[in-house]
């Protein structure tokens, strides 16, 4: 099996002037106004195109796109349950593989996608994801991270950031909100030896689309962790969905990088970061944080970012925001 690096040799990036016009996801879906998650999904699907089969976990994206009798899906799509998107796509991939090898259907390049939210991926779906990654199925796993169980009403997940207020980790007299640091799903995917792992953000859509395309070219599993702004759950204005996305990267809260055959590559090195307080200021889920809380979080963010740079063999402190991909 080719390494990811080999599969990606000569990769042609999307040109901003010639983006794919296809919309494998149709309008008329029932997402909230300003939903950053469905936007990210739309962008990924444009990058992947119509020769894609999607297995979706229960969650926002499943509910808003498949309320009978309507479907926003223009590609074959299967929803089974909440915790098993990775397991279902394993079966789809194996089915196609067997049928093609046995000559029952013509050979064709098909992209197999398993997708779920942070709940379906990092919590209830961890086992299925781990199994699918370990078995090395040829598929892309998309984690749309809106940082809580949004579809059921904003309950915390292991992906909820420290200090965020959710309904099951509410800020209160005796609580700072979420009391644990966000689980690093990308690192878990890397630990499985996943050939291609990347973090994505819908504000940086060219970067996102290039990464989605790369994921489809790599043989074996690929894992994309996609920052998905949720104005409803984060309690920001709908029009600021992409502002949060941009600030998340500029404050180093959500760094953009790839891990190709285990090698870390920073997509966008932030050398003049904005303070995390600016990111928090427009989201009411953080409004209870004190200056002391924010200072602690800032310190942690800085440390985590430096750790990431070290993994990529980069030193902090070169000038300017440089685009890597």
Partner 1 sequence: MGKRIGIEVSLAVSEAAKLANVDVISAYPITPQTHIVEHLSELVADGHLDAEFIPVESEHTAMSACIGAAATGARTFTSTCAQGLALMLEICYIGAALRLPIVMAMANRSLSGPISIWNDHGDLMMARDSGWVQIVAENGQEAFDLTIQAFRIAEDHRVLLPVIVNLDGFTLSHVIEPIEILSQEEVNKYLPPYKPKMWLDLKNPITMGPVGIPDVYTEAKKAQDEAMKNTKPVVIEAWNEFAKLFGRKYQPVESYKTEGADTLLVTMGSTSETAMTAIDQMRAAGRKVGLVRIRLYRPFPAEEFVTAIKGAKQIAVMDRALAFSGMETGPLATEIKAILYDQREKPYVWNFIAGLAGRDITVENFTEMADGVEAAAADKLPQGATWTNVRE
Partner 2 sequence: MAKETGMISWKELALGCAVTRPGSAADLKTGDWRSQRAVTDYEKCTKCGMCYMFCPDMVYSPKPDGFYEANMYYCKGCGICAKECPADAITMVEESV
Residues 6+ apart with CB under 8 A from 152: none
Stretch that binds partner 2, among 60-68, 134-142, 274-282, 306-314 (CB under 8 A): 60-68
- Three-state SS annotation for 230-257: CHHHHCCCHHHHHHHHHHHHHCCCCCCE
| Contact pick of 10, 16, 28, 69 for partner 1 (by CB under 8 A) | 69
Looking at the Cβ atoms of 72 and 197, the one nearer to partner 2 is: 72
CB of 284 to partner 2, least distance (A): 17
Decide: is 10 part of the binding site for partner 1 (CB under 8 A): no
Query: What three-state secondary structure class fits 174?
Result: coil
Residue 28 touches partner 1, criterion: CB under 8 A? no
By CB under 8 A, tell whether 151 contacts partner 1. no
Up-side HSE of residue 304: CA atoms within 13 Å toward CB? 17
Stretch that binds partner 1, among 1-9, 105-113, 305-313, 316-324 (CB under 8 A): 105-113
* Min dist. Cβ of residue 97 to partner 2 (A): 23
What is the radius of gyration, based on Cα positions, of the chain? 19
- Give the nearest distance from C-beta 3 to partner 1 in angstroms: 23
Please identify, using beta-carbon distances, which residue of 14 and 139 lies nearer to partner 2. 14
CB 156 within 8 Å of CB 175: no
Reduced to 3 states, what is the DSSP secondary structure of residue 311? helix
Under 8 Å between Cβ of 228 and 208: no
What are phi and psi for residue 255, nearest 5 degrees? -70, 150
Question: Residue 184, interface with partner 2 (CB under 8 A)?
Answer: no
Q: Which window, 76-84, 193-201, 296-304, 314-322, contacts partner 1 (CB under 8 A)?
A: 76-84
């Amino acid at each position: 099996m080719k390494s990811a690096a080999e599969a990606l040799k000569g990769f042609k990036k999307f040109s901003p002037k010639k983006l794919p016009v296809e919309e494998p996801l149709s309008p008329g879906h029932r997402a909230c106004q300003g939903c950053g998650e469905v936007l990210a999904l739309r962008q990924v699907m444009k990058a992947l195109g119509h020769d894609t089969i999607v297995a979706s976990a229960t969650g926002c994206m499943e509910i808003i796109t498949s309320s009978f009798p309507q479907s926003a899906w223009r590609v074959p799509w299967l929803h089974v349950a909440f915790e098993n998107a990775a397991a279902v796509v394993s079966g789809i991939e194996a089915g196609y593989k067997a049928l093609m090898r046995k000559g029952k259907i013509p050979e064709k390049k098909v992209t197999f996608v398993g997708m779920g939210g942070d709940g379906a991926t990092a919590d209830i779906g961890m086992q299925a994801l781990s199994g699918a990654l370990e078995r090395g199925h040829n598929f892309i796993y998309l984690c749309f991270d809106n940082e809580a169980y949004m579809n059921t009403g904003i309950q915390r997940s292991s992906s909820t950031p420290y200090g965020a207020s959710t309904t099951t980790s509410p800020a209160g007299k005796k609580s700072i909100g979420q009391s644990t640091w966000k689980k690093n799903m990308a690192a878990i995917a890397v630990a499985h030896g996943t050939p291609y792992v990347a973090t994505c953000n819908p504000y940086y859509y060219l970067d996102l689309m290039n990464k989605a395309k790369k994921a489809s070219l790599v043989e074996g599993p690929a894992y994309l962790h996609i920052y998905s702004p949720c104005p409803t759950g984060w309690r920001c204005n709908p029009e600021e969905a992409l502002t949060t996305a941009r600030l998340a990267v500029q404050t180093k809260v959500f760094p953009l990088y790839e891990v190709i055959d285990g090698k870390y590559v920073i997509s966008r090195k932030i050398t003049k970061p904005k303070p995390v307080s600016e990111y928090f200021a427009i989201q009411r889920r953080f409004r209870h944080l004190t200056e002391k809380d924010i200072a602690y979080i800032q310190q942690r963010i800085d440390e985590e970012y430096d750790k990431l740079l070290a993994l990529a063999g980069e030193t902090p402190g070169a000038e300017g925001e440089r685009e890597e991909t």
